[in-house]
A and B are shown apart, each in its own frame.
Chain A
Amino acid sequence: MTTNKKDERVFDALIRSAENLTDDEVEAEYRGDGEDLPAVASRVRGTLLAAVAEHQSRERDRIRRERSKSLNDLGVFRRQLPSTPERRRQQLRSALKENPEATAQFRNLDEMTDEDVESALTQLAFLGLLDEESG
């Protein structure tokens, strides 16, 4: 039997011993160490809540990074669009002919503003539905 396996068995017995302590025994042991139970519980609760806060902070950073990447990606696509509003509108018309499934979303092309056209083209480029020939 490996030392690690032996260690695991001893530690499992010690953990069970701690888990099986009655509330009174837990309190008595801490009192013997000069600590009272509410203060101990408050300390542990603080440690656990600090970990929750760390998790939330990491999640916020992750979402911020992902949003920043998405915006960056959109910016790259936007910079690749034709330079004039007329040429962008023409490119969108060609793209919609090639991708009839996307026309429902941009049905009233003539009523779209230049900003709407630019936004639509950026979205199509982001989705990979815009190729060189569309332009």
Chain B
Amino acid sequence: MTPDDDPCAFSVLDFKRALEAASDADLARLEKIAWILAAKTKGAMTPTDLLNKAVLRTLDGKRTWRRSVSLVQHLGGVMRSIAFHDKAKDPPEWAPPEADPDNEDAPGAVALLVQHFEEKNDDDALLVLEGYAEGKEADEIRDDLDLEQTRYETIMKSIRRAGERLGVSKGRKTR
């Protein structure tokens, strides 16, 4: 383990320094990740909630931050863990109309993405989504679907943007 990998707790000062060092684009990427993951919570958490909780867990020492890991990767990882493993304690302040965090039968974000691309008759996006759901890697999906890199990137962008919009939806008010 290198000194940079030493998993010590980050102090407030360390955190503020990392924040100062982050570029505008890094912070924007972080927001996009928060939007995507807010969609996963089916409206139980806003993007702001996720960012807030990720910082608190880091500073409380509940999540260690390896110094070799960037701010975006670290907070993105903590938000991912919160979105996938936390049960919301508070009632949602907002929720997409199709989603209900208390209803396990309500469609999840991936189901909503599939529905979105079915409505658009976008077969390529549906096949890429299916490939990832089956656990395939990007290279494998490109080969299976015989997609050029640029075409694949365009499809991924369109899926990601749909995911971001799902996460933002009414949560945009809280930004």
Asked if A52 contacts B16 (CB within 8 A), the reply is yes
CA distance A117 to B133 in the complex (A): 73
CA distance A37 to B76 in the complex (A): 19
CA distance A3 to B114 in the complex (A): 13
Interface secondary structure of A, over-half rule: helix
> Least Cβ distance of B78 to chain A in Å?
11
Asked if B25 contacts A51 (CB within 8 A), the reply is no
B145 within 8 A of A: no
CA distance A37 to B32 in the complex (A): 12
Contacts of A18 in B (CB 8 A): 29, 32-33, 36, 160, 164
Residue of B nearest to A18 (CB): B32
> Least Cβ distance of B63 to chain A in Å?
13
Contacts of A26 in B (CB 8 A): 25, 28-29, 32
CA distance A45 to B18 in the complex (A): 11
Contacts of A41 in B (CB 8 A): 23-25, 27-28
Contacts of B97 in A (CB 8 A): none
A13 within 8 A of B: yes
B135 within 8 A of A: yes
> Least Cβ distance of A1 to chain B in Å?
7
Asked if B33 contacts A47 (CB within 8 A), the reply is no
Contacts of B72 in A (CB 8 A): 19
B109 in complex: contacting residue of A7, A52, A56, CB < 8 Å: A7
Interface secondary structure of B, over-half rule: helix
CB within 8 Å of A: which B23-56 residues: 23-25, 27-33, 36-37, 40, 48, 51-56
CA distance A10 to B52 in the complex (A): 24
- Contacts A8-B84, A10-B110, A11-B36 given: A19-B133 contact, CB under 8 Å? no
> Least Cβ distance of A13 to chain B in Å?
5
Interface residues on A, range: 35 or more
B28 in complex: contacting residue of A17, A37, A48, CB < 8 Å: A37
CA distance A15 to B15 in the complex (A): 22
A4 within 8 A of B: yes
Contacts of B33 in A (CB 8 A): 15, 18-19
> Least Cβ distance of B74 to chain A in Å?
12
A44 within 8 A of B: yes
CA distance A103 to B148 in the complex (A): 83
A40 within 8 A of B: yes
Contacts of B23 in A (CB 8 A): 23, 41
Binding site for B on A (CB under 8 A): 1, 3-4, 6-15, 17-19, 21, 23, 26-27, 29-30, 37-38, 40-41, 43-45, 47-52, 54-56
In the A-B complex, the 9 residue pairs with the closest CB atoms: A51-B55, A41-B24, A6-B133, A23-B25, A44-B27, A41-B27, A55-B59, A18-B32, A51-B52
